[in-house]
Structure 1
């Protein structure tokens, strides 16, 4: 009898556990907490500086930026700070909706730049007189030297993120750049012997060595630069030296400015004998992409990869 008296209690316990388990199994899971939204204003006041440059203090998030660097203009738009760009210099050709003006970092005066009422000016290295004038007017100026390596380019993009209140977006951009470049390089077939190349900056044979930013990019593919025995980052070579070196690849970064084409190269005295010409390995680059160190450097890496891959096809 005792066992029968205990049965209802046991049954109720089992049913209670069963329903509890069913409820747990059918309960809608709570949504994962969203990542906190970045508050641009919360990052200010801030002290900003690139290595080797004088730091600047920004009391609040800049809303009226004047960009006097085409590379900086591209980067600002890529990290989501395009709406803060009040004016860009006349060479800022990308993106198409950038507010281009006739400003020029090397020839415009401080008054012309100040006329746009900027709370931040981004200037290239070499605009020393203009920078001094703007600082006398107490306008913050962030100087962005030319990058000499991909690491320099990443650091500059992330510094622009800090200066504009878009740090997270800037880190996202550089992370994608690193990943894209790594994949492109990994997917490019390796030549049995290092291919040689000549990178033409102008028809009078100015070029870039491996010590330059562009040389750092070519170095990702193990290419050998025929100009590396010359002094400096951007030397001028004698035409005879180029012909004697007989590069496997020729890259032209002077098509827009100077009309350089594969046919024009082949017509130069003695150049029709070069391996790059005979094997149709003269590559026309977008010189804006090849001459800047912003997010579109991925496009340059892809163009070089395509050329290296084609050079190894039978």
Structure 2
């Protein structure tokens, strides 16, 4: 197993849940209660794993991860239960502030807790991912209708549009997209005389480093905000099926810029990047032009993450390496500002 195959969000995390199919089959065989005389209204939702009939007005939505839940909450829909599959501190704080239960300890590397999920009695399940989540989808489908929201190797606009379609909030999703695109574009107006080129260097569980390849959500946001990247990062690259740009220690010298961004967080270690001798020799690093950001948000592909990045970039455009960027302790205030900006 290579380090890139381990769990992590933002284009590196590859969920490989081992579905409890036997439990799901038993559930399906047992059947449910006798159907009511009048069938409830349903609607059809298309998603990366197929097509499903969901309740027209679901009473209890279960989200298998915080990122799916944050998109739902931004769209004005409160999930009843959320699993903390991504281990996001920011996500946990925002959701718990909203009075939503976040169940700890369930990660994407584990089997979905089918019997536990049955106990929550959801009438709809929303999950993050696509083909890599097929086994989990198959295991959960007998419990309740499941909608998968694309996340890996898709644009943030497409992901948000899909989340809106899942809960019949397409107009709301379109409005948020327009607002967030405007928020990103406004960063350009604040960019003088700030840095013009940004290099993003993150760690990969001991295999040195990586960056976001061209076309990934982070790369498109940086471009739309008016920043350039080092030539070594402005390329199409893949690792397996992912749009990821691996960087070996010997290649780090080509990743200098006006400002070097180093992500840190649950799945990212800024210390591991800073420990690389070649990294320490970069002119920007020697001059102190390095800024540490929240990697779980910077590599996120959901509406709140987009707003978080844009807010950080506005500070970067104005103050460079002296910018004050978001940390997990800012979760509540950042969420309130996000809701105010998008009209939630």
Q: 1:164 to 1:145 in 2, by over 3 A?
A: closer
- Aligned position for 1:211: 215
Per the normalisation by structure 1, the TM-score is 0.71
Kindly name which structure, 1 or 2, has the bigger radius of gyration based on alpha carbons: 1
Structure in which a larger fraction of residues adopt strand = 2
Q: Deviations over 1:24-62 (max 9, x none)?
A: xxxxxxxxxxxxxxxxxxxx5221124x44122113311
Q: Does 1:260 align with 2:263?
A: no
Aligned to 1:243: 253
Provide the secondary structure at the position in 1 that maps to 2:209. coil
Task: Tell whether the 8 Å contact from 1:254 to 1:287 is kept in structure 2 after alignment.
Answer: yes
Distance of 1:188 and 1:218 partners within structure 2: 12
Count of residues in correspondence between the two structures: 263
Q: Distance in 1 between matches of 2:288 and 2:255?
A: 17
- The 5 Å alignment of 1:14-25 reads none
Q: How many Å separate the matches in 1 of 2:139 and 2:49?
A: 17
Compared CA separation, residues 140 and 219, structure 1 to 2 (3 A): same
Q: For the structure 1 residues 173 and 118, does the alpha-carbon distance in structure 2 shift closer, same or farther, using more than 3 Å as the test? A: same
Within 2, Cα distance between the matches of 1:252 and 1:266? 8
Aligned to 2:313: 304
The residue that corresponds to 1:89 in the other structure is 84
**1:157 alignment partner, one of 144, 147, 160:** 160
**Counterpart in 2 of 1:200?**
202
The structural deviation recorded for 1:165 is 4.3
SS of equivalent residue, structure 1 residue 175: helix
Whether 1:227 and 2:224 are equivalent positions in the alignment is: no
Give the one of 303, 308, 321 matched to 1:295. 303
Contact residue 120 and residue 141 of structure 1 kept, 8 A: yes
Is residue 179 from structure 1 mapped to residue 176 from structure 2 by the alignment?
A: no
- Identify unmatched segments of 5+ residues in structure 2: 1-40, 323-344
Q: Which residue of 1 aligns with 2:55?
A: 59
* 1:16-165 equivalent positions in 2, closer than 5 A: 45-50=42-47, 52-82=48-78, 84-90=79-85, 91=87, 93=89, 94=91, 95-97=94-96, 98-101=100-103, 102-109=105-112, 110-125=114-129, 126-135=132-141, 137=142, 139-146=144-151, 148=153, 152-165=155-168
**Structure-1 residue corresponding to 2:285:** 277
Decide whether the 8 Å contact of 2:184 with 2:221 is kept in 1: no
- Secondary structure of the residue aligned to 1:235 is strand
In the alignment, the residues of structure 2 paired with residue 257 and residue 72 of structure 1 have an alpha-carbon distance, to the nearest angstrom, of: 18
Q: In 1, distance between residues paired with 2:53 and 2:88?
A: 26
What runs of 5+ residues in structure 1 fail to find an aligned partner? 1-43
Q: TM-score, normalised by structure 2?
A: 0.66
Contact 2:190 2:318 in 1 (8 A): no
CA distance in 2, matches of 1:59, 1:147: 26
2:125 counterpart SS class: strand
The separation in 2 between residues aligned to 1:237 and 1:45, in whole angstroms, is: 48
Q: Which has the higher contact order (CA 8 A, sep 6+)?
A: 2
Q: Secondary structure of the equivalent of 1:57?
A: strand
**TM-aligned CA distance change 1:171 to 1:258, over 3 Å:** closer
